[in-house]
Amino acid sequence: MFETVYACGGRAAEVCGLYVEDLDLRLDDEHVRIHGKGGSVRSVLLDDRGYVALLKLYLARSGYTSGPLCRAGINGSTGPLSYDAAHHRWETYCAAAGIEIDIHQLRHAHATELINAGVSIEAVRRRLSHASTETTQLYTLLADDIAAATEPPADLRLGP
């Protein structure tokens, strides 16, 4: 579930609502249909080969051929995993690791990586389903801040 949030740049609630039927795992055309805010639907390319392999393994081992992708197993129920349950699991994992990261930061990290890789702001906007480019541009500022924070001091730089 968390890898899907990161790999697709989806909101946690969107990923909780995914069904196996939303996946298209045909070779070289792997993508997922994400149902977003306001009834919008977007197709997101699954361009991470490692993630696609992990997803295929998950489906094979679980035997899921239809229905919710991320399922709750409480009291024998196999309904969709709720956002609250996913959020609770995330907090439990973070506490065990001794870190404080909000689940939504997986989406931010995905967007920042795309921008750092040179993907256009418009392509990132569409992938994240932002209504406005201004919202997406916040990630360019974050990417700039990260780059500035990792630059060596002026006296250690090579060249002019």
- Known catalytic membership, residue 104: yes
- Collapsing DSSP to helix, strand or coil, 1 comes out as coil
152-157 average pLDDT score:
47
The answer to whether the CB of 45 falls within 8 A of the CB of 56 is no
Give the neighbor-by-neighbor strand order of the sheet with 31-35: 23-24, 31-35, 41-45
Strands (DSSP E) found in 12-89:
23-24, 31-35, 41-45
56, 88, 93, 104: the catalytic one is: 104
The answer to whether the CB of 41 falls within 8 A of the CB of 31 is no
110, 125, 127, 130: the catalytic one is: 130
Query: 131 or 145, which is more confident?
Result: 131
- Known catalytic membership, residue 31: no
Q: What is the pLDDT of residues 13-33, one digit of tens each?
A: 999 999 999 999 999 899 999
The answer to whether the CB of 137 falls within 8 A of the CB of 121 is yes
The closest alpha carbon to 20, from 51, 56, 73, belongs to 56
pTM of this prediction?
Answer: 0.78
| C-alpha distances out from residue 129 to 43, 62, 138, Å | 10, 30, 14
- Known catalytic membership, residue 33: no
pLDDT at 49: 93
Q: What is the pLDDT of residues 34-77, one digit of tens each?
A: 998 888 898 999 989 999 999 999 999 999 999 999 998 765 45
- Known catalytic membership, residue 107: yes
Pseudo-torsion of CA 41, 118, 105, 133, nearest 10°?
-50
